[in-house]
Structure formats: structure tokens, C-alpha cells
Amino acid sequence: MMNRRKIIIDTDPGIDDAFAIIAALSCSQFEVLGITVVGGNNQLNSCVNNALGLVSLMDSRCPVHAGAPVSLNELRLGKTAVEHSTETHGKGGLGGVSLPGDPAGLSTVHAADFIAETVRSNPGEVEIVTLGPLTNIALAMERQPGLLQDVKCIWSMGGGVEKGNRTVVAEFNYWADPEAAARVFAQGQSTSLNMIGLDVTTKTSFSMNDLFFLKLEGGRLGKFFHDITEQYTRVYWERFRLCGCVIHDLVAMMIAIDPSLCGEGDVFPRVNVRIETEGMCRGQTLVDLHNHRDLRDLPRNASVYMGIDRNRYKLRFFETVFKDVSQLYEKHVLGT
């Protein structure tokens, strides 16, 4: 039997998180050890319920662990929740779609404790895919000093070299808790840390043809994906005049599944990444792609992804989740 890769998914579901989680649970090479949940796209309770619903939808026994409801700074101030807009991800976080889950799948172990203990018990074997703010990872680092030395790899959807989406310069996940992101990247030399940000994700939009094909040929999962993206696609049209949508978190998950989706020129290996934590640029990622002479003494703490083969990415997703119709998709939608 093939040795499967041990994976923890740290997430704040979230429409794009839902795509990513389902891809991971469909991937034969992954053993998803647990889903750890952080407040981000929605209130923590809603994110936990969505994670439980996705696990039930996939008939999985993967445990769900609730984690930080707010950022590190807000935790220190005693806050337990923050207001969230439903404009992008809709009511409940899944485009207004209600997804029932089994409460028995919710562990009593805090997400940060689960991460720390799982990594400690499997040194050098666990990969973490982060799809939300990095608060749970930072808390796990507090619980287990030297944690990242024992993590095999981190695939992190977040940041952006040339653009932001929450502010002019900051991507949402790192903006939501820049102190946590800064802590993780400060220790990035200890592991294989990969930043998969807006520069690559925004090159991968799903078209209305892709989504319509999911509805017609994707069975219950395809209809679910189509339904949760109805409001999402309206938002993309109103904001960007794009007929379709970008499934950001899925990009990080598919790169984790198959790094060959990105060519040599798409990846800048081991560069310096810093996270701004103050002022109007709070949450911005400062990325030295070209080994600037004044920054050469700074640690090369992360690999940064800047491009991807969009068609191969989408086809690989269909092959992973919808194997029976992937050839139909390739022939009639991709047109290859």
C-alpha cells in the first residue's frame, strides 16, 4: 500500500476553503489527520460548522478541532469574536448554502494543541496546509517551542508580492493576523515554508463554463460547488467585471497535491519574506524576489509562488475530485 502523506488542514471555511478541503479529502495520496479551524472568513462557530458539514458531505471520519476565534492581539485583549461581513462568502460562509454536519466529529482538543501534539508525535512527517489566518499555527508554536523544525512542510495560502485584496497592499489571511504570520515566517528557515499568494491565485479563475459543467456533470459535489459560488460570482462581476471567480484556497491545495503544476520560472525558492505589522501597510508581505544587495543578510525563509499552468491546475482538480468526468471536461470545456 502506498505511504500516504500526513496532512493537517488549517482553515476558516469559506467558499474557497470548501473546494480545497474536498480536494484534499478526495486525494488518494493524502492522509488528512485533522482539520483545524480558525476564525477568519466568518465567526469561528460558523467556520467549525462548515468544516463539520464538509467532512459529513465527504463521508469522512476526519476530526475537526476548533481553534482561535480571533487574532493573537485580540486574544490578549480578551476578545472572543469580531464582526464579519457576509458580502463575499454569503450567509454562513458558504454562499447561503446550509450544510449539516455531525457534532460528534468535533474534538474537544484545541486546534493548537492538536497541531503541536501531532507534529511532535510524527517528526518530519506532517505537512500543514494553511487556508486562513495563521493564528492556530502561531499558538501551536507557543505550545511546542521548535515546532517548525519537526514540520515537514507548510503550504500557506496568503500574502501577495504585487497586490492585496483586503487593503491596497495586504491579502486577507495575513492582514487578519499579521503578528501570527510574522511569527511563522520568522521561523521559516526551520522548515519548507511556501507562500502561495494573490500573484498566483488570481491567475487561475474558474469560468462560468467551468461552474456550469460542475452543475451538469459533477453529481452532488458538482451541484454543491455550483450552488455555493452563485453569490461569489456575482461579487466578482460587480467588483472586477469577471465572469467567474477565483478559488484562492484551492490553488494552494492543488499545488500541495502536485507541485509540478508550477514550472521552474513560477517559483522563487528560498527568498526573504517579512510581514508588516503596523501602520497603513499592516499585513503587507515584503518579498525580496531578486536578492537585493541591501537585504542579503536577511534570512531566506520561504519559497514564493508567482505563476502556475492554469489549465493543468483546473484539470488536476477535476481528475482529483471528478475522475469519471475529467476527460469530458478536458475535451469540451478546456478544449485541449
Which residues are the active-site residues?
Answer: 248
- Phi, psi at 157, each rounded to 5°: -80, 110
What is the Cα–Cα distance from 110 to 92, expressed in whole angstroms? 22
What is the Cα–Cα distance from 82 to 84, expressed in whole angstroms? 6
Closest to 13 measured CA to CA, from 46, 55, 57:
46
Let me know: does 234 contact 228? Beta carbons within 8 Å: no
Give me the residue label for grid cell 531566506. 300
- Phi, psi at 156, each rounded to 5°: -115, 120
Buried b (16+ CB within 10 A) or exposed e, 269-306: eebbbbbbbeeebbbbbebbeeeeeeeeeeebbbbbbb
Of all helices (H) and strands (E), which one includes residue 271? strand 267-275
Number of CB atoms found within 10 A of residue 98's CB: 10
Let me know: does 48 contact 126? Beta carbons within 8 Å: no
Of all helices (H) and strands (E), which one includes residue 101? none
Let me know: does 17 contact 43? Beta carbons within 8 Å: no
Grid coordinates in use for 276? 508588516
What is the Cα–Cα distance from 103 to 272, expressed in whole angstroms? 42
What is the Cα–Cα distance from 178 to 175, expressed in whole angstroms? 5
